[in-house]
Structure 1
Amino acid sequence: MNISVSMNKFDSKIKFVQLVFVDINGMPKGMEIPASRLEEAVTDGISFDGSSVPGFQGIEDSDLVFKADPDTYVEVPWDNVARVYGFIYKDNKPYGADPRGILKRALEELEKEGYKAYIGPEPEFYLFKKNGTWELEIPDVGGYFDILTLDKARDIRREIAEYMPSFGLIPEVLHHEVGKAQHEIDFRYDEALKTADNIVSFKYITKAVAEMHGLYATFMPKPLFGFPGNGMHLHISLWKDGENVFMGEEGLSEIALHFIGGILKHAKALTAVTNPTVNSYKRLVPGYEAPVYISWGYRNRSALIRVPAFWGKGARIEYRCPDPSANPYFAFAAVLKAGLDGIKHKIDPFAYVEENVYEMSEEKRKELGIETLPGSLGEALEELEKDKVVKEALGDAYKNFINYKWKEWESYLEYLEEKHMPKDTKKVTEWELERYFFL
């Protein structure tokens, strides 16, 4: 985007521009500047204090600079403001703990091998009535793919979809999900960095439209005990010289299989990044379509990695354990680095299965080499600490991330002890609702 052109196109409506980045949890942060300072934000950057941003600098060394990425400029259709994403700098150099910058560097490493990554997400969310308490009132009783009177939120989904193109998102499928008041709106895949931005934008749009209708939208992995959780399956493919390198003569290519092998090898550590909350592990339990067994297969929806049916250049894998509480920049960087490790070291995928893994006996799973994902955030963090590849994917943010998440886990354990609750409880606690409901 040519900034001089963009400045000329401002009309009287656009008075301010929001400079948007995310913190360690993937929560949007930022500041507003007068529209007249947009060119300055692109060329010189806008300084800010990062000491109170979760996962950023300490108070003793907190001067950071936000530089706007002009290609991400959009105007918010229901407000008189524009928004733009960007990169964070420190001492005139890219700031090592900037989530967007971390993904950019991971993609640059991928490009050195000749690959470009495309990702399509499937974020799920619930809509709840506002009632001033944690008593979560459900505004409809629809079920999976309901389209008639049971689905009271169809007009809200349509409204969200109508706003999405203004932010550069192309909606593809809208439908009611399995849970009462649970929904999904899929949007078109794109290059990895653009898709990560799109996830942040999609959550913003969805929450804003819900607010307009007096509702809360939550992407919390498991807001209700006994109801399906919110997942965010990722459809991933690699391209080289304009060709999908996951497409083989019959089925997937060798590159794709090695990419799967890398993800399977690092799957336990990856969950700390793709499922980074205490609440994430209330979703990752058998019986709710959330994969907990480290396996792969064609069309098998009980496997961690599924290969959907595809035509033409549509070859891809579907990584099924991530949830919408993940910081998308961290998650994409970690998954792509794990897959690239598989390609570089020619790691063959293991635990291939086309049967329903949930219905298998423990003996059968052991025979097939099917292991289990971590059962808690604490277990996932232990796996992360042992995994060099996933740690390196987080770059300078790793130390901040692991320390922040260990404190989160310890705080939860203290809460359980105070409430005399078992450590392995699958109930959704008030502690989780207060911490994660607005993610």
Structure 2
Amino acid sequence: MNSEELILNANDVVAYLQKPASEFTKADIINYIRNNGIRMVNFMYPGGDGKLKTLNFVINSLSYLDTILTCGERVDGSSLFSFISASSSDLYVVPRFRTAFKDPFNEIPTLCMLASFFDKDGKPLESAPERTLAKATQAFREVTNMEFHAMGELEYYVITPDNGQFPAVDQKGYHESAPYAKTTEFRTMCMDYIARAGGQIKYGHSEVGNFSMDGKVYEQGEIEFLPIAAEESADQLMIAKWVIRNLAYKMGLDVTFAPKITTGKAGSGLHIHMRIMKDGKNMMTNGGKLSEQARTMIAGMMDVAPAITAFGNKNPTSYFRLVPHQEAPTNVCWGDCNRSVLVRVPLGWTSNMDMCHEANPLDVAANYDTSLKQTVEMRSPDGSADIYQLIAGLCVACRHGFEMKDALEVTDKTYVNYNIHDAENADRVAALKQLPDSCAASAECLEKYRKVFEEHGVFSPAMIDGIINQLKTFNDSTLRQDIENNNEEIQKLVTQYFHCG
């Protein structure tokens, strides 16, 4: 990060300290607090429900500030995670300085930081969400000698009163502009706040989904991030969801990340893009084509994909989204620029054409390096996901590809270049594995593949057991078939899980 990027950085702490967040120290945090009128500190951390929790501190002395930044604080783990018993529930939470940002909502000047969990012996809590992801990226690095990067496409619906002005065309909201898109200002404000909290945003836009129901307009938006180290990517997605909800509350709007709102309308996904890096170079392409390493990581995802839903599709409404003809996957396959597949290889600027010069003939021709742009995209996850579990699971799956003897054969067998929902392709689709159709089926898939996720000590057996038990409690093995034509029952289900993840 050069000096100009530091000056332009939207994060107030980065801009003030003039150093990248990854280099923040305790002394830096104290310096910022002392010289910027900060009166409170918040520790934030994910609970078992996937939402951020907050512990507030009033700064009453320099010594107390030093104590909480050094030692953290004690919390009740049994109230945060189902796998921790009340008889031995105390945990420590200790802040990660690189996540520091100024709270954009609190009138009292407040500095927020994400925190890590530690057990009674002062060791990282092995089943903590952020610890699981850290172990996944470490194992990936050890096996492949490469770094695992990720980014998310965060989709959501904003609900506003329907005043009848400039109505949008139903299910035609993709990249719509105001005044037909009603929540553009909300989205751009969210993007600004997320950037100020350290989020590396790629862009934002209105999405396909929009419809009117019960006197309200439901409008879908998306904020997409840039690919960065997987642990940082998960942190940013957690903070982004927190920002979007808080800003909606402040503006008197309602927001949901629920995977499904009603039948026949687009659901909201949480697509995750991935790339693998070595010495600062993107290893996803070779000579303008998808590299052998990229196809190997895809093979790993193809092998264990049905189990990924256990991390990325956490409640029964998730499986009402994973149905044909809704741009959501149902089959385990991959393809280029194909939105009907599970893993998509999007356009990656590999043509070496100077499109900028073509569009702007007066501009000097450039030789811009676009090699960092190529990613692959997993399209099954949604807003119910446990973000740390999900990205950790994808990291494990990609590493698994490098441990498979037949990886490239698997990749060849699961590649499709057609629309899998077309009737003429029914026989070819029948040969592909299917994604689970319920939380119960997802639990069975995780049980089947659990050894892959437990290898290298990434997912603890207790954590896998907890996820399986949680999914089984929904008792939804036939729910989709039972109520698929009953809109009233579907709406009850949507209401129940409206504020998931």
Compute the TM-score of the two structures, normalised by the length of structure 1: 0.91
More helix per residue: 2
Distance 1:126 1:163, change over 3 A: same
1:127 equivalent in structure 2? 158
Question: Is the 8 Å Cα contact of residues 231 and 324 (structure 1) preserved in structure 2?
Answer: yes
Alignment match, 2:354: none
Is 1:342 the counterpart of 2:380? The answer is: no
Write the deviation string for residues 58-108 of structure 1: whole angstroms up to 9, x where unpaired.
Answer: 111101001111111111123132211121011211112210111011111
Gaps of 5+ in 2: 1-23, 211-218, 350-369
SS at match of 2:306: helix
Report the Cα offset of residue 13 of structure 1.
Answer: 4.6
Contact kept, 8 Å, 2:260 with 2:494, in 1: the verdict is: no
In the alignment, residue 422 of structure 1 is paired with which amino acid?
D
Aligned match of 1:184 = 222
Aligned to 1:330: 389
Aligned to 2:390, what secondary structure does the other structure show?
A: helix
Secondary structure of 1:88's aligned partner: strand
Larger CA deviation: 155-164 vs 426-435: 426-435
What is the rounded CA distance, in whole Å, between the counterparts of 1:429 and 1:391 in structure 2? 37
**What residue is the counterpart of 2:440 in the other structure?**
378
Distance in 2 (CA, whole Å) between partners of 1:85 and 1:106 is 19
Total equivalences in the alignment? 427
Q: Report the Cα distance in structure 1 between the residues aligned to 2:439 and 2:100, rounded to whole angstroms.
A: 36
Displacement of 1:413 in angstroms is 7.5
1:39–1:397 CA distance, 2 compared to 1 (3 A): farther
Matches within 5 A, 1:19-418: 19-35=43-59, 37-79=64-106, 80-90=109-119, 91-113=121-143, 114-129=145-160, 141=168, 143-180=173-210, 181-311=219-349, 312-313=370-371, 314-346=373-405, 347-348=407-408, 349=411, 350-361=413-424, 363-366=426-429, 369-387=431-449, 388-392=451-455, 393-395=458-460, 396-407=462-473, 409-410=474-475
Q: How far apart are 1:163 and its partner, in Å?
A: 1.3
Cα deviation, residue 361, structure 1: 4.3
Cα distance in 1 for residues equivalent to 2:344 and 2:36: 50
- The structure-2 alpha-carbon separation of the partners of 1:371 and 1:43, relative to structure 1 and needing over 3 Å to count, comes to same
The whole-number CA distance in structure 1 between the counterparts of 2:165 and 2:441 is 33
- Check conservation: 1:384, 1:391, Cα contact below 8 A: no
Cα pair 1:125 1:220 within 8 Å, conserved = yes
Secondary structure at the aligned position of 2:79 is classed as: coil
> What are the superposed Cα offsets for residues 328-359 of structure 1, whole Å, 9 maximum, x if unpaired?
11001111111111112241213211111111
**Alpha-carbon spacing, 1:227–1:38, altered in 2? closer, same or farther (3 Å):** farther
Q: Which residue identity lines up with residue 31 of structure 2 in the other structure?
A: N
The CA RMSD over aligned residues, in Å, is: 2.5
Partner Cα distance (1:38, 1:115) in 2 = 38
Distance 1:285 1:42, change over 3 A: same
2:360 maps to which residue? none
- CA–CA separation in structure 2 for the residues paired with 1:139 and 1:279: 31
Which deviations, in whole Å up to 9, do the C-alpha atoms of 1:138-168 show, x marking residues without a partner?
9974611110321111111111122122111
Larger radius of gyration: 2
Could you tell me which runs of 5 or more consecutive residues in structure 1 were left unpaired when the two chains were aligned.
132-136
| Structure 1 residues 380 and 438: alpha-carbon distance in aligned structure 2, compared to 1, 3 A threshold | closer
Partner SS for 2:136: helix
CA contact (8 A) 1:24 1:401 kept: no
User: What is the rounded CA distance, in whole Å, between the counterparts of 1:108 and 1:326 in structure 2?
Assistant: 22
C-alpha contact 1:413 1:423 (8 A) present in aligned 2: no
- Residue 223 of structure 1 deviates from its aligned partner by 2.1
Tell me the amino acid that sits aligned with residue 365 of structure 1: R
- Could you say what secondary structure the match of 1:294 adopts? coil
- 1:134 corresponds to which residue? none
Q: Aligned letter for 1:126?
A: Y
* C-alpha contact 1:290 1:321 (8 A) present in aligned 2: yes
Counterpart for residue 366 of structure 2: none
1:344 partner letter: E
Change (3 A) 1:201 1:438: same
SS in 1 for 2:286: coil
Distance 1:7 1:250 in 2: 48
- Contact 1:225-1:426 within 8 A present in 2 as well: no
Q: CA deviation at 1:115?
A: 1.5
- Offset at residue 436 of structure 1 (A): 3.8
